[in-house]
Structure 1
Amino acid sequence: MRSGARIEAFLEMMSAERGAADNTLASYRRDLEDAAGHIGDLAGADPAAIRAYLGDIAARGFAPSSQARRLSALRQFYKFLYAEGLRPDDPTGTLDSPKKGRALPKIMSEAETGRLLDRAAAEAADASVGDSARIAARRMQALVEVLYATGLRVSELVGLPLTVALRDERFFIVRGKGSKERVVPLSAKAREAMRLWLVERGRVPAWAESLFLFPAASESGHLPRQVFARELKGLAARAGIAAAKISPHVLRHAFASHLLQNGADLRAVQQLLGHSDISTTQIYTHVLEERLVRLVNDHHPLAVDGH
């Protein structure tokens, strides 16, 4: 069976047994045919030939993510050939995946975050608006204050139980990824925003029995994350901040970055964010590096005029 026929057999298996979508199958086909065009006998290729192919696509300027996708397609292909007894080994077993650079998170400055929170507070305090606008504004104020105070994931935020606000405590426990629990802080401003939101929430009879802090007539029973993200962009625009620059995740990053800029320990931020591995938190090391440079420039006896 030639390589072309084996590629077809692989794609048939992915469709019939794995239920792969048409787009996925087309992507596999393109990647495998490109590799076959470079290697020749793709089905019989050895590790050196595959390594040379990966070097070629790197030289062609493919991003590490694209290189990794090509290697993943080859791994699946050779795993299939091995399982079917069409070759005695997997030549990709000793190959390392291309290193993917971790993108730096979008960051809001403390001044921009302050403008966003001030705008939310001003809209919530506007007595000239109708009931529905007032309720929406109070909810938004509570959402952004709690998000910036805690660094919660957006799914954790919109799904908060009502008991978090009823207790009015400086800390609460949140259940995050993998059902892992962690303790997160609540600032005085966040607790006050939640208290004001509870007043508005209590005026809506349909929400009286809900166990969620931010109830909604949705399948989940709470405010959908997409609705919050859309309304947050609207708030940002009204605060003079580009809507493209902000999302709930950006506010979570702002929480972490501003803590580090003001002297927090990376391990502590890891715990507050709920990262199981500190390597995930290390996307913020650029913030620490800036702080250390500033520390040396400002305080080292050999630093001259701050340089």
Structure 2
Amino acid sequence: MDGPLAPFAAGVRQELLGLGYAEDTVCEHMHLLADLSGWLAGRQLATAGLTSAAIEGFLRTRRAEGRRTGLTIAAVAPMLTYLRAVGAAPPAAAPAPPTPLEVLLADYRDYLEGERALAESSVSQYLRCARGFLTWLPDPAGPGLADLSAGQVINYVRTWAARRQSAPTDMVTLPALRSLLRFLHLTGTVTLPLAGAVPASRGRPVRGLPRAANGDDVRTVLARCDRDSASGRREFAILLMLARLAVRGGEIARLRLEDIGWRSGEVTIRGKGGRVDTLPLPADAGEAMADYLLHARPASSAATLFLTLYAPFRPLTVSGVTQLVKAACQRAGVAGFSPHRVRHAVACDLLAAGASMEEIGQLLRHADQRTTALYARLDDARLTELARPCPQGAPL
């Protein structure tokens, strides 16, 4: 390798290997580093010239030459991160200063996460709705926001409702708008308390019976896991946690190494709204997690238990857990189900075995008994006991 980046080649290689990249992948990155170093030398640039603009120029040159790999910022990101960390390349260009709207939304995010303790998925939905409302206003985050009126709020809701006449039911926007208006009044951004100006939405649709996964399908998927491969070990451990403890997909993704009490036989579950519960760890689920840790989990400093399969190794996301379950269903040749449908299946099995609503609610960690009561509609025998006989008609 020639050029100004040659002295850093060994360091880049060691860094990529430490991140878990395969040898052939590291080799491809080193070829890209050599091309970048030669490009800098051809323009008589030193490492200090490796600015964001220079990187864009290098990528444009590769695209113009008809290269098929190494054409995006993501391709050069691993080596660029290392070069910037050791001071060989200047830091990335400072982002543009945030607009008043972005500052307001950032404060709202802090409120949702800190004061309300909402899950990340809920925070994202509320921020999306807040951005939609604020950008609809003529002065989204300026001084004029202080004079926001109930009439403007109602007009926005009417406009939103007119756009959604043929769209699926939306149960988020109006509660999110009330939340934003409470926040704006709480912080003094808006003078009047306007949350009450948001009209009530149509009642939540009547919920049908829980859509539980078929128990035989769940057992088939578990039996078809390839427990000799890294992906199969991870898949089996996750599916067994879902089937034994009825945890949510997000709770699987948030599970940390420190949450597993190997000696006590317990596991700490970090649930919705910041709730933390300690549950007994079934022996088979513990063995599956231990097998994954010993033989399949990549070497990583990440605190979460389940990681991605390919470098750079990152914590598995909620959507990653959902996709893993669906892919396992496809390989097993059964109807696809989600992690939450496995949760329903566990509750239905408990109900069929004679468990009480209180016991089911404790395992599922429901904050409201009305949520657990949904499963009562599945128990025909118990519902029959509640039915009153039809009164005989009185004689005329």
TM over 0.5: yes
Match of 2:273 in 1: 178
Please report how far the alpha carbon of residue 229 of structure 1 lies from its aligned counterpart in structure 2 after TM superposition.
1.4
Which secondary structure does the structure 2 equivalent of 1:158 belong to?
helix
Correspondence 1:148 to 2:257: no
Which secondary structure does the structure 2 equivalent of 1:124 belong to?
coil
Please report how far the alpha carbon of residue 223 of structure 1 lies from its aligned counterpart in structure 2 after TM superposition.
1.0
Match of 1:12 in 2: 137
Instruction: Trace 1:78-93 onto structure 2 (pairs within 5 A).
Output: none
Please report how far the alpha carbon of residue 29 of structure 1 lies from its aligned counterpart in structure 2 after TM superposition.
5.8
Which secondary structure does the structure 1 equivalent of 2:207 belong to?
coil
State percent identity of aligned pairs. Answer: 24
Q: 1:138 to 1:108 in 2, by over 3 A?
A: same
Q: 1:169 to 1:259 in 2, by over 3 A?
A: farther
Q: State how far apart, in whole Å, the 2-side matches of 1:34 and 1:148 are.
A: 40
Q: Find 2:227's aligned residue among 124, 129, 132.
A: 124
Q: State how far apart, in whole Å, the 2-side matches of 1:154 and 1:212 are.
A: 14
Q: State how far apart, in whole Å, the 2-side matches of 1:63 and 1:242 are.
A: 25
Which secondary structure does the structure 1 equivalent of 2:241 belong to?
helix
Correspondence 1:223 to 2:328: no
Please report how far the alpha carbon of residue 138 of structure 1 lies from its aligned counterpart in structure 2 after TM superposition.
0.2
Instruction: Give the CA RMSD over aligned residues.
Output: 4.5
CA deviation map 1:272-305 (0-9, x unaligned):
2222111222222222x33526899xxxxxxxxx
Q: State how far apart, in whole Å, the 2-side matches of 1:111 and 1:167 are.
A: 30
Q: 1:64 to 1:135 in 2, by over 3 A?
A: closer
Instruction: Trace 1:43-122 onto structure 2 (pairs within 5 A).
Output: 97-104=201-208, 105-120=210-225
- Single out whichever of 144-153 and 103-112 deviates more from structure 2: 103-112
CA deviation map 1:57-101 (0-9, x unaligned):
xxx9999868x96xx89xx9xxxxxx999xxxx9x8798653223
Which secondary structure does the structure 2 equivalent of 1:152 belong to?
coil
Q: State how far apart, in whole Å, the 1-side matches of 2:198 and 2:333 are.
A: 52
CA deviation map 1:156-190 (0-9, x unaligned):
11221223446154432323223222232332221
Please report how far the alpha carbon of residue 153 of structure 1 lies from its aligned counterpart in structure 2 after TM superposition.
1.8
Q: 1:12 to 1:161 in 2, by over 3 A?
A: closer
Q: 1:154 to 1:64 in 2, by over 3 A?
A: closer
Q: State how far apart, in whole Å, the 1-side matches of 2:271 and 2:264 are.
A: 19
Q: State how far apart, in whole Å, the 2-side matches of 1:113 and 1:291 are.
A: 25
Unaligned runs of 5+ in 1: 1-9, 19-24, 36-59, 77-82, 126-133, 297-307
Match of 2:364 in 1: 273
More relative contact order, 1 or 2 (CA 8 Å, 6+ apart): 1
Which secondary structure does the structure 1 equivalent of 2:367 belong to?
coil
Match of 2:116 in 1: none
Which secondary structure does the structure 2 equivalent of 1:190 belong to?
helix
Q: Find 2:158's aligned residue among 15, 21, 31.
A: 31
Correspondence 1:258 to 2:362: no
Q: Tell me if structure 2 keeps the 8 A contact 1:183–1:272.
A: no
Q: 1:96 to 1:234 in 2, by over 3 A?
A: closer
TM-score (norm 2): 0.47
Query: Aligned residue pairs: how many?
Result: 233
Q: State how far apart, in whole Å, the 2-side matches of 1:235 and 1:171 are.
A: 27
Q: State how far apart, in whole Å, the 1-side matches of 2:168 and 2:302 are.
A: 47
Q: Tell me if structure 2 keeps the 8 A contact 1:259–1:269.
A: yes
Q: 1:197 to 1:172 in 2, by over 3 A?
A: same
Correspondence 1:242 to 2:242: no
Which secondary structure does the structure 1 equivalent of 2:137 belong to?
helix
Match of 2:303 in 1: 211
Please report how far the alpha carbon of residue 233 of structure 1 lies from its aligned counterpart in structure 2 after TM superposition.
0.9
Match of 1:52 in 2: none
Q: State how far apart, in whole Å, the 2-side matches of 1:111 and 1:211 are.
A: 34
Q: State how far apart, in whole Å, the 1-side matches of 2:338 and 2:139 are.
A: 36
Q: State how far apart, in whole Å, the 2-side matches of 1:253 and 1:63 are.
A: 24
Q: 1:220 to 1:234 in 2, by over 3 A?
A: closer
Q: 1:33 to 1:283 in 2, by over 3 A?
A: closer
Which secondary structure does the structure 1 equivalent of 2:220 belong to?
helix
Q: Tell me if structure 2 keeps the 8 A contact 1:116–1:239.
A: yes
